[in-house]
Chains A and B, each alone.
Chain A
Amino acid sequence: MTASRREFLQQSAAAAAAVGLASSLARPVAAQPHVFQGDPSHKELVLRAIDAAKAAGAEYADARISSARSQNIGTRERRVTNIGDNETFGFGVRVLVRGAWGFAASSNLTPDEVTRVARQAVAQARANAAAMVKPVELAPVHHPPVPNGVWRSPIKVDPFTVAIEDKVAYLLEANAAALAAGARFVNSQMFFLRDEKTFANTLGTVTQQTIFRAQPGMTVTMVSPDNRDFQTRQSTDIQPKGLGYEHVLDADLKRHAARWAEEAKQKLSAKPVEVGRYDLILHPTHLWLTIHEAIAHPTELDRAYGFEANYAGTSYLAPPEDKLGKFRMGPRFMNVLADRSAPGSLSACGWDDEGVQPEDFYIVKDGMFVDYQTTREQAMWLDWWYKQQGKPTRSHGCSYAQTWADVQFQRMPNVNLLPGEQDLVWEDLIAATENGIAIIGDGSFSIDQQRYNAQFGGQLFYEVKNGKITGMLKDVAYQIRTPEFWNALDMIGGKRSYELGGAFGDGKGQPSQSNAVSHGCPPTRHRQVNVINTGRTA
């Protein structure tokens, strides 16, 4: 699931993360960003932690030190509502004892505390092992240990080197543009993260990674003169990225603000949608969220085996032996590829949070469901499938923890719907549609615990008649049954129309952890989808 924007804003200050670009793909950057050279004391301490864990009886151990800095700036109209700078620093130790996991963490980074916490993790694993039925086994790692791995996000401008007054001026100028265009209210904000992570495991891998994230955003609100209606336009044209301040400059909120205000105004007088079945044309700024909920989540292997049944849920793609290679997700031109390597994407990294170098892998190939997202523990569960396919049993590198204080587990990589072979763009899909609704931007979203029944809203809804946009609609939401929805996909954009969307607030696990992930896609068309009208009168 994805956290709502409100939850995200609450969580983001506390949530650190992991993003970047695989070392083999890293390119030199124009300006020298903040480079994590690796504090030698951090390396010493993670090695001390795994030594202490081994001495206390751990069969396997890994340790992470993270120093994460985040910054939030919020405004409304002509006023700055908050400027916050947050640093969180600490370490976590995960151990395996008699096939049971233990994890402990502390913000008190001293040699004695590192030893104490490592022993605490081992003691906890022993308590957990008492009633163990099926011990954990870890798949082998497909590459040799990396004793000195270094990786960083491919940023151009470190956001923490940009003056606060420049950031404030940027936001207030964007607000002024929205107000000049008639906005009643406007909120805008920037969020930045820099996470420096040092990792070691008992296999001999030691890595140091520096991960950046940036999200500028705006919400424009219009209120009707009689106070009976209000409408908002969120800046979903601008998506969060694993980049630096250059992403904020490229986003140029000021340039878009007047249009967003105008669109919010149009929503006040838009025609309420008539319920019924429509062909939907979905823009990448909207579709990424449908992919996130209805493809990426149900292909998490822990869900398929029931490990998340108490919160995030299970999956309609289960049991794996009935679905892998047998379940048709969509038409033959539908291909879904997972990666942690796309430049500027939120899930990119050099190594995952158990020291595995991620690889690109197909989840859907030629319309057929072929693989799940895995960690080392989970890859063993699909040993039979990989043997059948003549492939090695190994993790896809999907282990992740949101901060030093959280235990790592399986989190989604970037999960992308690949473009079609034909060079089609958004306008081509509209031109080919007789009676449809075109949806731009993500809005309300909700999906059941097995990922069958979903409902999505959006930012902007346009009526399409005989290949042309004929006006704006409001109170639109579509309801789907996931397998039918993807099999109703009949047109897909080409390479030129492919965009990355994404979110910081992808929630899963207990305690719930926030993952940051991108989803690339072109626009698509889906035939005869059920549309409801959500407008009610209080």
Chain B
Amino acid sequence: MTPKSLYAIAPHLSRAECDAIAKKVLSFSTADECRVSINSGMRQNTRFAVNQISTAGDNYNAAVTVRSVIGKRSANVTVNRLDDASLRAAVQNAERIARLAPEDPELLPELGPQDVPPSVQWSDATASLEPEARAEAVRAITEPARRAGLVSTGYLEANAGSFAVANNKGLFAYDRSTAVAFTTTVRTPDGTGSGWAGASDNDFRRIDPRLLAERAIEKARKSVNPVAIEPGRYTVILEPTAVANLVQLIGGALNARNADEGRSFFSKAGGGNKIGEKVVDERVTLVSDPFDPRVPSGTFGGDGLPTQKVTWIENGVVRNLAYDRFWAQRTGKAPVSAGGTLAMSGGSSSMEEMIASTERGILVTRFWYIRSVDPRTILFTGLTRDGTFLIENGKVTRPVKNLRYNESPIFMLNNLQMMGRPERVSASEAGGPGQAIIVPPLKCRDFNFTSTSDAI
């Protein structure tokens, strides 16, 4: 489809348009099986730096992936030219490559028609966020920062699009979604203080730029001239963003096959996996639910299989791991889709109560440059950033220099002391919408900091 207007609802392919494209592609196919996946939509962003807009970008794209299966052989071809000749060439190319591929002993037949309910991921407010409205939202941060004599930098991204999958066994599923993220870092002009605030949602109306400005400005002011403390094991109070930065790493390890093959934290000594074993504090429950209105996700996977609510960890015990269709069949289990979103259980403690109950500890706003060190224990390294404070005798007393940690979210959730109310956060390091995640603030003991950093 041709984007017709400059703005209004962001262009994306409708159900009828996807259906027409899918039927056309399938009509070109001579393969035993053929699957068509169609992604389309707008990615719109505005960046600001030094209290003014630096760059912005609006782009539209629509791409079709053809998966052709001949016997036990398959190949994928993706194109973003949707004219008949290009689509026909894509089908021919996929069939040509599939014929040259070796047989795949793990190949499973395409699914037939599936009962796929619509998702709850769409917001007109996000889909119609024009450059003027984005500029206005940005000014709600740059103006107060400038008035405060501070320097604001940040990023607003709003995406709107559709996804469809169809095959020659009669399957057709269509969904559309929006996502938005708004983050800012406010620094003092002399670079001695830095504060961050951010939010992510499907609906832009649930993000308050003024609140982000207030939080980042307050942190920038309070973080000026941090003192160095000795690295070591500390009690930490982690704001929800910092918790999500680490808890989402568990999501990446919840794969049954890796566990069964002995190359995962979820591998069991002697063989098998840790389903049924207690791995973290009994207050911890981790769930992926596509219909959770706080953190919704798509309702079907890339092969058209409907996604279900999955409880990964319940009261500290591993209940499920992700099984693709092949591994489920091999091990006699039902397929379990990898979750698109994560929701963690919470408690009733307020941040104030956590701080007041702490004799000596560190308050962390967020983590940064988080990278795997040892997959055997889901051990990662990274640093605190943009608001790290010392707590002494129940009070936040002063800013401290940032610290590097070498720690695992598994150890952290075993050392759990207090939990607050869950909150949806922006936990993607790059500031895009990323994976939707809702987690509580936490107080944990013995968090392992291994060195200090001079970075502000």
**A134 on the interface (CB 8 Å rule)?**
yes
Report the minimum CB–CB distance from B61 to chain A (whole Å).
5
Q: Is B60 an interface residue (CB 8 A)?
A: yes
B142–A305 CB distance below 8 A = no
Does B376 sit at the interface, judged by CB under 8 A?
yes
Out of B6, B78, B131, B372, name the residue touching A86 (CB < 8 Å). B78
Decide yes or no: A446 and B80 within 8 Å by CB, A80-B102, A407-B57 being known contacts. no
Shortest distance from the beta carbon of A245 to any chain B beta carbon, whole Å: 16
What's the least CB distance linking B191 to chain A, in Å? Answer: 7
Contact status of A445 and B371, CB under 8 A, knowing A101-B54, A164-B97, A510-B47:
yes
The answer to whether B104 and A120 have CB atoms under 8 Å apart is no
- Cα A314 to Cα B410 with chains together (Å): 32
Q: Which of these, B56, B78, B371, contacts A4 with CB under 8 Å?
A: B371
Whether B75 is near chain A, meaning CB under 8 Å from some CB there, is yes
- Bound: A101/B267 CA distance, A: 52
Residues on the B chain within 8 Å of A116, using CB: 3, 6
* Minimum distance in angstroms from A509 CB to a CB of chain B: 8
What chain B residues lie within 8 Å of A86 (beta carbons)? 77-78
- Tell yes or no: A133 within 8 A of B by CB: yes
B370 at the A interface (CB under 8 A): yes
* Tally of contacts, chain A with chain B, CB under 8 A: 290
Q: Is B79 an interface residue (CB 8 A)?
A: yes
Assess whether A87 is interfacial by the CB under 8 Å rule: yes
| B332 contacts the other chain (CB 8 A) | no
- Contact (A536, B411) CB under 8 Å given A310-B185, A405-B59: yes
User: B373 an interface residue at 8 Å Cβ cutoff?
Assistant: yes
A450 interface residue (CB < 8 Å to B)? yes
- Docked-complex contact A221 and B455, CB < 8 angstroms: no
Query: Which of B55, B370, B451 sits near A479, CB closer than 8 Å?
Result: B451
Cross-chain contact A310 with B410 (CB below 8 angstroms): no
Question: A128-B135, A511-B157 in contact; A534/B373 too (CB < 8 A)?
Answer: yes
Question: Quick one: which of B43, B47, B269 has the most chain A CB within 10 A?
Answer: B47
Q: Is the CB of B263 within 8 A of A223?
A: yes
Question: How many A residues touch the partner, as a band?
Answer: 35 or more
Question: With A132-B52, A444-B371, A536-B408 in contact, do A108 and B78 touch (Cβ < 8 Å)?
Answer: no
Report if A444-B431 is in contact (Cβ < 8 Å); known contacts: A89-B80, A113-B2, A230-B262: no
A130 touches B76 (CB 8 A): no
Say yes or no for B14: interface residue by CB 8 A criterion: no
Measured in the bound complex, the distance between the Cα atoms of B454 and A316 in whole Å is: 9
Partner of B430, one of A90, A106, A309, A311: A311
* Closest CB in chain A relative to B13 CB, distance in Å: 12
User: Smallest CB–CB gap between B48 and chain A, Å?
Assistant: 9
> In the complex, what's the smallest C-beta–C-beta distance from A460 to chain B, in angstroms?
16
Also in contact, A104 and B454, with CB within 8 A (given A309-B153, A311-B429): no
Does B132 have its Cβ within 8 Å of any Cβ on chain A? yes
List 8 A-B residue pairs with CB atoms under 8 Å apart, sorted by A's residue number: A4-B371, A79-B102, A83-B98, A89-B80, A120-B6, A132-B53, A309-B194, A310-B184
Question: Which residues in A have some Cβ–Cβ distance to B below 8 Å?
Answer: 1, 4, 6, 13, 79-90, 92, 100-108, 110, 112-113, 116, 119-120, 123-124, 127-128, 130-134, 163-165, 168, 172, 184-185, 221, 223, 226-230, 305-311, 313-314, 316, 318, 405-407, 409, 444-453, 455, 457, 475, 477, 479, 481, 507, 510-512, 530, 532, 534-538
